[in-house]
Chain A
Amino acid sequence: MSRFIATRRLASNIFVSKSATRTFCNDAPSKLNDVPHGSQFNKELEDEQGFTNDIPQYDIAIVGGGMVGMALACSLASMPLTKQLSIAIIDSNPALTNGSSIKKDDPPDPRVSTVTPATISLFKGIGAWQYVEQHRHAYFDRMQVWDYTGFGYTRYNARDADKDVLGCVVENKVLHKSLLSCLQNKDFKKTIYPTRLSSMSLPTRSSVSAAGASQSKSLANLAKLELSDGTNLYAKLVVGADGSKSHVRELAGIKTTGWNYSQSAVICTVEHSAENFCAWQRFLPAGPIALLPIGDNFSNIVWTMSPKEASNHKIMSEDDFVKAVNHALDFGYGPHPESQVFGSGVLSSFFRPDVTSSANEGFELPPKVVKVASQRMAFPLSLMHANQYASKRVVLIGDAAHTVHPLAGQGVNMGYGDAASLSNVIADGVAVGSDIGEVTLLKKYEADRKTANITMMAVLDGFQKAYSVDFGPLNILRAAAFNGANVFAPLKKNIISYASGERRLPFLS
């Protein structure tokens, strides 16, 4: 048997060498042609205008250096896997380059954001919160929500959800400056282009195959950005963080869905005679008015109303405005709710373990406004959601991807959540050696954030619609909701933790 095999083995040796050349590739190894590696370098603007033909290449180009764009840059700079990436930030805002400082004596700017605990921990994680604490900021641990019908109210206390704070109110310019300081203090390859994006060309299959030599082929596979001052640059990934009228979104051909609320928001800084520690929101027939503590004796007003009323309120005298605000927060449009103190009584002792401690707090009136401390601004409000967050080599974060009604202070927090998620996805991609502009990687970010964002938008839109109708049974229903949320601990805890950004979806743990 073995000799049988041996002879066949000999025969097969000859057979094999003949057939090998026929069936398989030829013996000459198909060697790769020597390609000079595409140079990766950051060039200052002055060099570009010189004689070199080399166009700078970056790993990521962030279009829009606002709060969310800078948060993404900081987040990438703080992670070991991504801190070696080279970043270009394109924003014509002079604050990015001239490094102006914020004076402590200035009254607060009316553009403020309420950052949720989730955002605070994000900032702490990237090392930017220490800079925020050096400027004016106001933590608050109490919140009262009621409406004009006077049927009910809800008081939230951070202790109900075993937390220290419900959130912190910070001026937008403080957040932005903190992120910028944090970024500048990190050893990170970033270049700021103080200009605007004028056009962008993204790789398509035809453009890549049409490119000739191998170096231009590799460049044809990148996104090319043309800026309005004439500079060009290449990037593996373009991040659109340029706000609700995003140019990047338009150039990438991503469509949006949404509608305009027939409302505008009037914002203003006001002063009290004593410090305010609680956040107040009263739903009026035309829209909610919110009073948020901003620190010292100041508070910020966000008052949603019809566009005509908004322009009236913007131009009326300061005294009239103060009167209008006090009226709206006090007896205007309807009575005060009765204090529902869940006090003694046989029935209450049954429910005591389930009842929140803040249910024992009675209804309080917000502090009176003494004077207006800043100019008044008005913005139209709308709901917008991009149909996709990512396409090849382009991704959208922040307001470029979604805008919401300010009634729950969630807008910029959703944007920060996007920045955190995208930087994690990019880090995962770098860990497994992916091309960071690949759609499959970016779709992971989209899958993560789209669900969370759409849910939050649905909840907020639902609230906005529920509170814009003055209809008897609906008013009773809303009152029941107020009282229910006030009294039942699990519901209140759920609402607080969802609004704090701890959970992606309400009611599902």
Chain B
Amino acid sequence: MVLASKSVAMSRTMFTRSLYQLQNLSRSNGLSLHSSSTNFKHAVLAAFQPLLHSRPYANNPQPAASASSVDQAELAKFAAIAESWWDAEGPFKPLHVMNPTRLTFIRSTLCRHFGKDPFSARPFEGLKFIDVGCGGGILSEPLARMGASVTGIDAVEKNIKIAQVHADLDPVASSIEYRCTTAENLVEEQMKFDAVIALEVIEHVANPDGFCKSLSALTKPHGATIISTINRSMRAYATAIVAAEYILHWLPKGTHQWSSFLTPEELVLTLQRASISVEEMAGFAYDPLTGQWSLTDDISVNFIAFGIKNSE
């Protein structure tokens, strides 16, 4: 009897969660269905601080909270993990293994878009890129080595510190400008970039719509925007949540919430509303035998989208 009621409660939560997600899409702010006052505060803050927890592997509870007690705990959790950002065998190992594959997609789409020689070692000379949600700089450093002037932003100060320390080890990487800020702040500063890259961020953001609008505002006209995230499919639930978090222990439990995932169609529409038209999309597939990731057409779990900002 107890078990049955628990499962009913769980299924109700799941139902409300998905309903919340639907409402999230149709409205520009993400008000929660619950009416208690603390939740209201959380929801309102979520609406106006879309980059509240724009870091990968955040243990993100229902809509992004910012009341002091909860946040200190969240930040402390990241502080513990942040030290191991650059430990290729540590908790961030899956990201390190996936990184070359993401970079292959980014390199080929951006070389084609900007008309650069794909066989050059530094094809992005003279271009300005921004890495939104840069974490420890695992994407920013390779982009800098490819010649781009990179700005890396993250909302967690500890990540920025780690990123700066690591970037100092390589003279090429030390040209990266790291800032602890949000995309919205940079929009206010009216900064513009040739390419805006936000990988594995949008699933941790409470308001994807507003986030995409900020990314779009940061992109120059006819510039590029690249977003990667996880699909909201059954297969992704089985793979990215159950397998990755509970069975293989690749990620800490609770890193991702299935309800925050976006389907490719939703992402395309959201980006369209932000004046970005998606030109290419690819998926990442993991081969357990070789332990390698590869680019594929299968976008049912991890996928990456390349879009071009409409020229004004």
Contacts and interface: CB of A to CB of B under 8 A. Distances in A.
A447 B291 CA distance: 11
A381 B103 CA distance: 46
A208 interface: yes
Contacts of B175: 35, 37
B121 A84 contact: yes
A446 B88 CA distance: 17
Given A12-B47, A30-B180, A218-B168, 10 more contacts: A16-B48, A23-B66, A23-B71, A25-B181, A30-B179, A32-B174, A35-B168, A82-B121, A435-B145, A447-B290
B45 interface: yes
Interface stretch (B18-26, B136-144, B213-221): B136-144
A440 B88 contact: yes
A13 B48 contact: yes
A80 B103 contact: no
A266 B121 CA distance: 47
B202 interface: no
Contact of A12 (B44, B155, B164, B169): B44
A37 B169 CA distance: 11
Interface in A1-33: 5, 8-9, 12-13, 15-16, 19-20, 22-26, 29-32
Interface of A: 5, 8-9, 12-13, 15-16, 19-20, 22-26, 29-32, 35, 37-38, 80-82, 84, 208, 214-215, 217-218, 221, 428, 430-435, 438-440, 447
A222 to B, nearest CB: 9
B96 A440 contact: yes
A430 B179 CA distance: 26
6 contacts: A30-B161, A81-B120, A432-B107, A433-B141, A433-B142, A438-B88
Contact of B155 (A25, A30, A208): A25
Contact of B169 (A26, A221, A447): A221
A119 B66 CA distance: 63
B167 A32 contact: yes
A483 to B, nearest CB: 38
A13 B47 CA distance: 11
A81 to B, nearest CB: 6
Contacts of A435: 141, 145, 170
Given A25-B155, A32-B164, A214 B174 contact: yes
Interface string B24-56: 000001010000000011001101110000000
Question: Interface size bucket, B side?
Answer: 35 or more
A428 B99 CA distance: 13
Contacts of A432: 99-100, 103-104, 107, 142
A447 B178 CA distance: 35
A32 B164 CA distance: 7
Contacts of A37: 171-172, 174-175
B174 A433 contact: no
Interface string B286-303: 000010000000000000
B160 interface: yes
B270 to A, nearest CB: 21
A16 B49 contact: yes
Among B145, B155, B157, max chain A CB count under 10 A is at B145
B176 interface: yes
Given A23-B66, A30-B157, A32-B174, A430 B168 contact: no
B168 A217 contact: yes
Given A24-B180, A30-B179, A80-B120, A218 B49 contact: no
Contacts of B190: none
B107 A81 contact: no
B146 interface: yes
Contacts of A221: 169-170
Interface in B176-218: 176-182
A35 B48 contact: no
A439 B171 contact: no
Contacts of A9: 44, 48
Given A32-B164, A433-B141, A23 B48 contact: no
B68 interface: yes
Closest 4 interchain pairs by CB? A433-B142, A25-B180, A433-B145, A38-B171
Nearest to A211: B169
Contacts of B71: 23
A217 B160 contact: no
Contact of A434 (B48, B100, B181): B100
A35 B182 CA distance: 25
B177 A31 contact: yes
B103 A214 contact: no
A14 to B, nearest CB: 11
Contacts of A30: 157, 160-161, 164, 178-180
Contacts of B181: 25, 29
A8 B32 CA distance: 14
B96 to A, nearest CB: 6
Among A20, A84, A432, max chain B CB count under 10 A is at A432
Contacts of B146: 433
B103 A208 contact: no
Given A29-B180, A440-B88, A440-B96, A430 B174 contact: no
A423 to B, nearest CB: 14
B45 A433 contact: no
Contact of B49 (A20, A31, A431, A439): A20
B169 A208 contact: yes
A31 B163 CA distance: 12
A447 B290 CA distance: 9
Contacts of A215: 171
B206 to A, nearest CB: 13
Contacts of B174: 32, 35, 37, 214, 218
Among A12, A37, A82, A439, max chain B CB count under 10 A is at A12
A217 B169 contact: yes
A23 B182 CA distance: 12
A9 B44 CA distance: 8
B99 to A, nearest CB: 8
Nearest to A215: B171
